[in-house]
Amino acid sequence: MMDSRPDRSFRPRWRGRRQIWRWLLPTSLVLLFLSTLLWLPWQAQRMEANERQEQLIADTLWVEQAIRFQLGRNEESLRLVGAEITAGRLPPAKFQEHVATLLRNDREIEWITWLDKNGKPVAASHDFPASLADYPAPSQDTSEQARTRKSPQYSQPTAAPSKSEAKSMHYHLPLFVRDRYIGSLVTSYSLSSILDEMVPWWFAQDNEIALTDAEDNVLQKRAAGGPGRNIYTHGRSLDLPGLTLILRTNSVKSAPRLLPNLLVGSVIALSLGLLWSLWALWRDINRRLAAEGALRKEVAFRSAMENSLLTGLRARDLEGRITYVNPAFSDMVGIPAEDLVGKAPPMPYWAPEGMEEYRLRFSQVLSGVATPQYETVFQRSNGERFPVLIFESPLVDASGRQTGWMGSILDISDRKRVEELNRQQQEKLQASARLATMGEIASTLAHELNQPLAAISSYTTGALNMILHASSQSRSIDASMLQPALEKASAQAQRAGHIIRSVAAFVKNREPLREAVTIAAVIDRAMPLIEMQAQRFFVSVTTHVAPDLPSVRADRTLLEQVLLNLTRNGIEAMQHVPPLRRILRITAELEQGDDTQNVVVSVVDQGHGIPEEVAKRLFSPFFSTKAEGMGMGLNICRTAVEFHGGTLEHTENPQGGTIFRFSLPALHQPLPKKKSRPTTAATS
């Protein structure tokens, strides 16, 4: 039996395609309309720019033809004057009167001179006739070319002697009678007058006009309307006999605007209004769907965020009531969210032993002052305590008004366990370092103990011999005779015991115990071990402790380890220096700061020093310059000093070698200390 129901899987595909076409067609039409809207102003701008360029070309051509026509008319007038001279009808006396009319009508001409065949002036339009030898060099060359070619020539423009900026050009017309050269007519044209007289004023107001040579060097310029903008430019060549000038025009008009007229602007404004109306209609239609979709996404995202966070979130109002907790916080304290929301202090996750701390922090919250970050202890529903790290910040609504407090709670139980494990590992490393140090001084320790033991044996043997001798002679022994030997034997036994106790205390693995100690006492206890190391390398050890140093709060054994490691490094650094330089100095002094006091201990050697590349990694774990070194000595020293709130650093010794210096905070109330004075312990 076949199912007659329509295929429902086809509906989503059909709806999806119809939804695509529903938006694709309007979008395409809008894009086409926008493209046309953007193309129209650009096309109008291009058309206007082309019209301006074409108009400039036409005007430039007209000006060029006007200049050429005027110069041609002047050339014809000068040829007529030359013809009368060659025919003998114009004597020199009447030459000035004949050309006066020409000068009045053509003001671009500066002067006209009649020269004989030797270049001497015969007659001139002005009172300053000059010979050809006084003309500029280009004019003299042009005169020779005109005579040779038997045709008029224009000379290259040059600056007038009296006008450094104004330039003039000379027109040389040779005069011949039956192929015999009898002289020439020389006419001087002012380039500035040519531009002023031959270029119309309306053209000069809209354009910057310039005359240039073939190499684009500006000879003369007219800018009545201001400098050109280099947007619309054109150039026309003035080909004169013997000379080429270029007439260049540069319009002062700017590029046309994108909206050139009111009509196009109105069309664009109406089109933009139509687009805005369509957009507003589309927004109103889709507002409800967008709001519903955003709400669904927001709810889903918030639920996913709340369920995936490992950090507990807790919101409280200004009165301290809980207004929100996320699932991570509920799982952390083992209490459901519905049992926490609306709850006021005391909270069920507060530990009974920390009630005073909780109430103090709660009162600070009510007063508007909350600690941004702090650690405390919470209690789970089964009574288990666990450490937490809390970040507290004001909860502000959209209007900027504070409505409560928002807290982020982190369970730091794992971190505390890791810190405790690291502390234990550090203590083991310190103990290992002490044991390694003891291994290095084991042979020296045996030698050091051999001396008091040998002395005890010698004293007891002498006392025994005295007793046997008295017994053989059957007489009593005076006790005063045995007392010095027994006292010396007891002193040597105490000395051996002190050495053994120092070593045992140094290698003993125990919890750090910080107490008020004096640096002088630390140095005194470590001196036997330091001296034993110094004896191996024949190093002299000197100490200087400033009087009345305040106490420091520290673990005595850790400080002894730091001092022993630093002195051992200094002693080994001097094993290859001359014996007279093998001096190790240990100093302790007080350093005053603005608000602090530090006790500074320095270990100064005169060894080989520390290279720069080694100094950069000196305190790195497992880095060592010794073949048998573990690379943990200085790292442990710095860790031990920083554990006491101090710093460890090193500098170069001006006398050669290195200075290691560590500082510890001084106690405000130093304990009474016995007087100490500089001591020197030398070994041979």
Q: Which token pair is 161? A: 């002697």
Q: Is the pLDDT of residue 526 over 80?
A: yes
Range from 7-11, 240-244, 354-358 carrying the lowest mean pLDDT? 7-11
Packing angle of the helix pair 413-440, 442-472 (nearest 10 deg):
50
pLDDT the model gives residue 678:
33
pLDDT the model gives residue 495:
57
Q: Is the pLDDT of residue 552 over 70?
A: yes
pLDDT the model gives residue 548:
86
pLDDT the model gives residue 599:
93
Q: Is residue 556 within 8 Å of residue 598, measured between CB atoms? A: no
pLDDT digits (tens, 9 = 90+) for 243-272: 888 888 888 777 766 555 555 667 667 777
Q: Is the pLDDT of residue 536 over 60?
A: yes
pLDDT the model gives residue 356:
85
Residues contacting 407, CB < 8 A, separation 6+: 313, 314, 315, 316, 390, 391, 392, 393
Range from 9-18, 412-421, 589-598 carrying the lowest mean pLDDT? 9-18
pLDDT the model gives residue 414:
85
Q: What is the 3-state secondary structure (H, E, C) of 121-186?
A: EEEECCCCCCCHHHCCHHHHHHHHHHHHHCCCEECCCEEECCEEEEEEEEEEEEEEECCEEEEEEE
Name residue 591's beta-bridge partners: 598
Q: Can you say how many angstroms the Cα of residue 319 is from the centroid of all Cα atoms in its chain?
A: 46
Q: Which token pair is 367? A: 């007063």
Q: What is the value of pTM for the model shown?
A: 0.37
Q: Is residue 88 within 8 Å of residue 183, measured between CB atoms? A: no
User: For 603-622, what is the mean pLDDT?
Assistant: 75
Q: Which token pair is 415? A: 């971190």
Q: Which one is predicted more confidently, 564 or 438? A: 564
- The Cα–Cα gap between 672 and 643 comes to 25
pLDDT the model gives residue 19:
58
Cis peptide before 91 (omega within 30 of 0): no
Range from 11-20, 40-49, 485-494, 575-584 carrying the lowest mean pLDDT? 11-20
pLDDT the model gives residue 628:
46
DSSP state, residue 529: H
CATH number, domain 420-511, options 1.20.58, 3.30.410, 1.10.287, 3.30.70: 1.10.287
**Domain 513-684, what fold?**
Heat Shock Protein 90 (3.30.565)
pLDDT the model gives residue 481:
65
User: For 345-366, what is the mean pLDDT?
Assistant: 85
- The Cα–Cα gap between 335 and 328 comes to 11
Name residue 218's beta-bridge partners: 212
User: For 415-436, what is the mean pLDDT?
Assistant: 72
Which residue ranges make up each domain of the chain? 53-251, 309-411, 420-511, 513-684
pLDDT the model gives residue 2:
44
DSSP state, residue 230: S
Q: Which stretches of 240-316 are DSSP H helices? A: 262-308
pLDDT the model gives residue 419:
80
Residues contacting 559, CB < 8 A, separation 6+: 517, 519, 522, 640, 644
Report the DSSP pairing between strands 583-592 and 540-545. Answer: parallel
Q: Which of 252, 174, 152, 242 is nearest to 208 (CA)?
A: 252
pLDDT the model gives residue 584:
93
User: For 309-327, what is the mean pLDDT?
Assistant: 86
The reply to whether domains 309-411 and 420-511 share a CATH topology is no
Q: Is residue 329 within 8 Å of residue 426, measured between CB atoms? A: no
**Cα–Cα separations (whole angstroms), residue 85 to 79, 96, 154, 476, 492:** 10, 13, 21, 175, 148
Helices and strands counted in the chain (H then E): 16, 23
In angstroms, what is the C-alpha Rg of the chain? 56
Q: Which of 339, 341, 287, 292 is nearest to 313 (CA)?
A: 341
The CATH code that applies to domain 53-251 is: 3.30.450.20
Question: In which band, very low, low, confident or very high, does the pLDDT at 506 lie, cut at 50, 70 and 90?
Answer: low
pLDDT the model gives residue 600:
94
Q: Which one is predicted more confidently, 192 or 507? A: 192
User: For 507-532, what is the mean pLDDT?
Assistant: 78
pLDDT digits (tens, 9 = 90+) for 572-600: 889 888 888 899 999 999 988 777 889 99
Q: Which one is predicted more confidently, 352 or 681? A: 352
Q: Is the pLDDT of residue 603 over 80?
A: yes
Q: Is the pLDDT of residue 451 over 60?
A: no
Q: Which of 546, 539, 551, 554 is nearest to 604 (CA)?
A: 539
Q: Is residue 159 within 8 Å of residue 183, measured between CB atoms? A: no
Per CATH, is 309-411 categorized as 3.30.200.20? no
Q: Which token pair is 34? A: 């926008």
pLDDT digits (tens, 9 = 90+) for 151-173: 999 988 887 655 556 788 999 99
pLDDT digits (tens, 9 = 90+) for 196-225: 888 888 887 888 888 888 888 888 888 887
pLDDT digits (tens, 9 = 90+) for 227-243: 877 888 888 888 888 88
Question: In which band, very low, low, confident or very high, does the pLDDT at 359 lie, cut at 50, 70 and 90?
Answer: confident
Range from 91-95, 144-148, 459-463, 639-643 carrying the lowest mean pLDDT? 459-463
- The Cα–Cα gap between 407 and 77 comes to 106
Residues contacting 292, CB < 8 A, separation 6+: none
Q: Which token pair is 682? A: 């030398």
Find the angle CA(43)-CA(49)-CA(52) to the nearest 5 degrees. Answer: 145
pLDDT the model gives residue 161:
58
* Greatest mean pLDDT range, 187-201, 265-279, 443-457: 187-201
Q: Is the pLDDT of residue 542 over 90?
A: yes
